[in-house]
Amino acid sequence: MRKKIVAGNWKCNTTVPAGVELAKAVVAAVNASGDPEVEVVVCPPFVHLTSVAAEVTGSRVRTGAQNCAAEPKGAFTGEVSAEMVKSAGAEYVILGHSERREYYGETSATLNKKLAQAFAQGLTPVYCCGEPLPLREAGSQNEFVKKQLDETIFLLPEADFRKLVIAYEPIWAIGTGKTASAAQAQEMHSFIRGAIADKYGRKVADEISILYGGSCKSSNAKELFANPDVDGGLIGGASLDPADFLGIVNGFKG
Ligand code: 13P
């Protein structure tokens, strides 16, 4: 069944103690008044994972990592494997974020190895895709995103594909305060779902959660989440503020 999901990507923010406090505040807010139909996930930096996972244990809040290594283990200084992430308590892992593609040269080939590692550990990948501004301005966003999908997750066998979550994050909307309009989000999500239907069939397409990311806040979540193909959000800046994050979690409520 298609899940509604709101996931916070904390990116490179908060110390470990501040992250634990933030997780505590998110749990309190979600327990008090979070929409019970929404799966809530927090994705702190690696070094916070164990403490944050312990903090959210027993609550409805789940934990995810922001990345994982392409290799299972070995002499890869500074890398953190999917197995480590899993053993620290994460259930999700964000893969292919545009910041990783852009600043750390992550290619489709690397991502395919990371996806394989995530699946091998039973983690749920949150696979990110999305176009840069010049492509949006040229009207080529669909072709760009389709190519990203074709080179990565569309190579997966159906059994794996069905387990992942997709996040559409137009790069021009990330951290810019410039959100895609509800119509732009719906148009792309519907395009992605259609491409999934072409590849894996309508039933699979209808079961995949497609999240929107890019300057999503409590003030615009309702409008974005009202779209039939928007199943939640991957939230950056606003996930650092428990009240704003709670407002997004409750963005499906009428
Ligand atoms: P912002 O919500 O800060 O725009 O970030 C979105 C994002 O990149 C989530 O992964």
Name the helix (H) or strand (E) containing 53. Answer: helix 49-56
Domains of the chain as residue ranges with CATH:
4-252 (3.20.20.70)
Atom of ligand 1 nearest to the CA of 216: 2
Lookup: tokens for 196 = 């999934």
- Determine whether 48 is an active site residue: no
- Determine whether 97 is an active site residue: yes
Q: What crossing angle do the helices spanning 182-200 and 218-225 adopt, rounded to 10°?
A: 50
Structure-token match 């119509």, residue found: 183
Atom of ligand 1 nearest to the CA of 11: 10
Question: In angstroms, what is the span from residue 168 Cα to ligand 1's centroid?
Answer: 11
170 lines ligand 1 (CB under 6 A): no
Q: In whole angstroms, what is the distance from residue 182 CA to residue 86 CA?
A: 35
Digitized pLDDT (tens) for each residue of the chain, 254 residues in all = 799 999 999 999 999 999 999 999 999 999 999 999 999 999 999 999 999 999 999 999 999 999 999 999 999 999 999 999 999 999 999 999 999 999 999 999 999 999 999 999 999 999 999 999 999 999 999 999 999 999 999 999 999 999 999 999 999 999 888 889 999 999 999 999 999 999 999 999 999 999 999 999 999 999 999 999 999 999 999 999 999 999 999 999 96
Tell me the CA distances in angstroms from 106 to 114, 123, 129, 140, one per residue in order.
Answer: 10, 20, 12, 22
- Report which protein residue has its CA nearest ligand 1's atom 7: 236
Question: In angstroms, what is the span from residue 94 Cα to ligand 1's centroid?
Answer: 12
Question: In angstroms, what is the span from residue 9 Cα to ligand 1's centroid?
Answer: 7
CA 108 to chain centroid, in Å, comes to: 17
What is the predicted pLDDT for the residue at 178?
Answer: 85
Query: Residues 97, 99, 106, 131: which is the catalytic one?
Result: 97
